[in-house]
């Protein structure tokens, strides 16, 4: 396998691992009391029950939902550049992969800001004690490296 194909496979693989981590790892955590929320919670919503009363903590957030969409598109584009000969020679697609990775990085970084909460909850006050977890940082880095690998395949001679 030549270097260009290998870098495209690496880009697709990095996007795939970032997508898996997006579904699995917590994105924010609070030390005391110990509370964690995943990307899925901040994207698709979460309800909690306290003293028998169920209330909505988060609602659906379209901007947070863009992250897995961008990662899936990056996977598909990276794989298609290996399989389809015409796409392999198109240098613009490497920059598209880079853009997908960078936009995913920015959206992961702003996940707390894009969370949709009830109207009676102050988002800044709610998230003031929450910190990004290591899993969120790894997801962010893998998305960035996937984009760099995609454009790196085009920069090789």
The model's confidence at residue 157, banded by pLDDT at 50, 70 and 90, is low
Record the pTM. Answer: 0.88
Radius of gyration of the chain (CA): 18
- Summarize the confidence of residues 21-48 as an average pLDDT: 88
Q: State pLDDT tens for residues 96-123.
A: 999 999 999 999 999 888 888 877 778 8
Cβ atoms 78, 146 nearer than 8 A: yes
User: Pick from 2, 15, 18: which is nearest to 77 by CA?
Assistant: 15
pLDDT of residue 1: 64
Cβ atoms 98, 8 nearer than 8 A: no
The three-state secondary structure class of 140 is helix
| Whether residue 89 has pLDDT greater than 90 | no
| Whether residue 156 has pLDDT greater than 80 | no
pLDDT of residue 56: 82
Domain positions in the chain: 3-155
**Third-level CATH fold of 3-155:** Butyryl-CoA Dehydrogenase, subunit A; domain 3 (1.20.140)
Q: What are residue 116's phi and psi, to 5 degrees?
A: -105, 125
- Give the mean pLDDT of the chain: 88
């Amino acid at each position: 396998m030549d270097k260009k194909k290998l870098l495209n496979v690496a880009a697709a693989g990095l996007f795939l691992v970032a997508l898996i981590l997006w579904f699995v790892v917590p994105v924010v955590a609070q030390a005391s009391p110990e509370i964690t929320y995943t990307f899925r919670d901040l994207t698709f919503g979460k309800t909690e029950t306290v003293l028998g009363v169920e209330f909505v903590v988060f609602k659906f957030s379209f901007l947070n939902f863009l992250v897995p969409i961008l990662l899936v598109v990056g996977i598909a584009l990276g794989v298609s550049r290996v399989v389809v000969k015409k796409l392999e020679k198109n240098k613009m697609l490497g920059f598209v992969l880079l853009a997908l990775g960078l936009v995913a990085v920015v959206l992961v970084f702003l996940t707390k800001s894009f969370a949709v909460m009830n109207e009676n909850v102050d988002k800044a006050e709610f998230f003031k004690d929450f910190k990004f977890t290591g899993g969120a940082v790894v997801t962010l880095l893998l998305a960035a490296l996937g984009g760099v690998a995609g454009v790196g395949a085009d920069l090789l001679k």
